[in-house]
Amino acid sequence: MSTLPRRPLAARAALTLALLVASHGALAKPTREPASELPVEVAAALQRARIPAQALAVVVEEAGGNRQRLVLNAGQPMNPASLAKLVTTYAALDRLGPAWRWRTPVWLAGPVRDGVLAGDLVLRASGDPTLVVERLWLLLRRVQQAGVREIAGNIVLDRRAFAPAAEDPSAFDGEPMRPYNVAPDALMLNFKSALYTFTPDAAAGRARVSATPALAGTAIDASVPLADGGCGDWRGALKASFSDDGRVRFAGRYPAGCGERVWPVADPAPATYNARLLEGLWREMGGTLRGRVRDGEAPAGEPTFVAESPPLAEVVRDINKYSNNTMARQLFLTLAAEADPATPATADAARAIVGAWLRERLGDAAATVAIDNGAGLSRQVRLSAHALARLLQHAWSSPVMPELAASLPAAALDGTLRRASVPAGRAHLKTGSLHDVAGVAGYVLGASGRRWVLVAIVNHPDAASARPALDALMRWTMNDQARR
């Protein structure tokens, strides 16, 4: 039995209440009313950009605490652009765990004799967004290490993990060749894109053209004439033609003043990209394929080996640091695939799962959230500054806080925030950008030593001009010594 003296009932109740308030400070009423007017320097930057304050939603509050410094238009549903990736990545870290990995089982469906696989090579896709050329080469290298130099049958791709709706890659912004417009696929190889490198050769008067990866059945102009002068719109000057007839042409000229440049381009025939990449890479590695690459079903038995992705924490870092839309959409559908492995994942299923997860963590604030495709590359996505601040507060006290915070761009150092005009490294903030959206959200270290949750979203036709105002808001948040 306890030897401590018993307290009166009223005193014990008061102590219990005090402990509850201390342990749930983030949910308690703020100790003072937050400011509802913008700091002078932020308001001035918005005025210079000719953007009204009503177009900006802001929350600045202490991370893990109950102090709010600034709240403006916080309950208004806004288009957050890529800030929506914070929802997808935090949901994935919370539900799957930082060490979780995508698994791609591989079968040698037949005996191997004298270097010949008397059957099919089978891959069952799981949505892994990290299967770029280097990792695909390692997968095929394992096949060769098993003794296979020739595949007598086919390369069979089981892509049934996802059932994404058909999409027009030009529907969002009329830019179908941009890699960020590539639609999801259970087998997402190299983002279904190619890198075209242009290297000037002044003596020959031409620029050499090379493509990575080499795709079977795709021919590329080996060079393009050089043009004098500065770089300017070098992509437009090339007069490129990326058609689905297997030919890439450059009818223009390449400006000599550009030096060497690399142009990432989404493949014009995404439906056949995987087949052309696998066949081209297998042959490039010295392999022989008698059959073809086709879709099909994986065998029921144990695979010969399993190729694993990097851990989720590393993938989330790539998604948030560089705002990778394709990877975010793959992860979004993966949440549905993992919740119900027997049913092909759809965007509707992923929205239902993430929506339920948000309601558990945000309560009524989740009503202002419409997540759409999980990447923020959408005109339908909506998220209030209040809801996003609540989510960042929840993440701050969660076991996966270090992984989520470390995945955000470090201000003036890396990722999409590397050019911010603020003290380097004092903030970790996700950025969001569309032609009519600009925003930041994450954590800021103040001069006082306190950490602050900062969410700021601008919805306005000239949102890109609001970046100096967002930088000013970051600096104001860091300069908190007067509010200790």
Q: Give the pLDDT confidence of 235-257 residue by residue, as tens digits.
A: 999 999 998 788 999 999 999 99
CATH number at residue 376: 3.40.710.10
Pair of tokens at residue 188: 């997402």
Q: What is the pLDDT of residues 167-220, one digit of tens each?
A: 999 999 999 999 999 999 999 999 999 999 999 999 999 999 999 999 999 999
pTM for this prediction = 0.91
The whole-number average pLDDT for the span 47-68 is 96
Pair (338, 424) in one structural domain = yes
The whole-number average pLDDT for the span 262-282 is 97
Pair (390, 247) in one structural domain = no
Q: Which of 214, 246, 270 is the C-terminal boundary of a domain?
A: 270
pLDDT attached to residue 164: 82
Pair (259, 303) in one structural domain = no
Q: What are phi and psi of 15, to 5 degrees?
A: -65, -45
Q: Which of 270, 289, 322 is the C-terminal boundary of a domain?
A: 270
Rounded-to-integer distance, Cα 119 and Cα 267, Å: 30
- The radius of gyration computed from the CA coordinates of the chain, to the nearest angstrom, equals 26
* Side chain identity at residue 455, one-letter code: V
Pair (129, 67) in one structural domain = no
CATH number at residue 120: 3.50.80.20
For residue 482, what pLDDT band results from cuts at 50, 70 and 90? Answer: low
The reply to whether 11 falls in a domain is no
Pair (349, 229) in one structural domain = no
Lowest mean pLDDT among 15-24, 61-70, 466-475: 15-24
Domain of 214 in residue numbering reads as 179-270
Rounded-to-integer distance, Cα 159 and Cα 273, Å: 14
The reply to whether 170 falls in a domain is no
Taking the C-alpha atoms of 53, 59, 60 and 65 in order, what is their torsion angle to the nearest 10 degrees? 160
pLDDT attached to residue 165: 85
The reply to whether 60 falls in a domain is yes
Rounded-to-integer distance, Cα 77 and Cα 61, Å: 19
Whether 281 and 213 have beta carbons less than 8 Å apart is answered as yes
For residue 35, what pLDDT band results from cuts at 50, 70 and 90? Answer: confident
Pair (327, 222) in one structural domain = no
Pair of tokens at residue 398: 């969660």
Whether residue 453 has pLDDT greater than 60: yes
The reply to whether 337 falls in a domain is yes
For residue 8, what pLDDT band results from cuts at 50, 70 and 90? Answer: very low
Pair (417, 372) in one structural domain = yes
Task: Provide CB contacts within 8 A for 233, sequence distance 6+.
Answer: none
Pair (461, 421) in one structural domain = yes
In the chain, the number of structural domains is: 3
Rounded-to-integer distance, Cα 106 and Cα 301, Å: 11
Pair (286, 332) in one structural domain = no
Pair (123, 254) in one structural domain = no
Whether residue 32 has pLDDT greater than 80: no
Rounded-to-integer distance, Cα 484 and Cα 237, Å: 56
The reply to whether 293 falls in a domain is yes
The whole-number average pLDDT for the span 321-332 is 98
Q: What are phi and psi of 104, to 5 degrees?
A: -115, 95
The reply to whether 15 falls in a domain is no
Pair (445, 383) in one structural domain = yes
Whether 157 and 295 have beta carbons less than 8 Å apart is answered as yes
Place of tokens 């995508």: 102
Whether 410 and 104 have beta carbons less than 8 Å apart is answered as no
pLDDT attached to residue 66: 85
The reply to whether 393 falls in a domain is yes
Q: Which of 270, 296, 322 is the C-terminal boundary of a domain?
A: 270
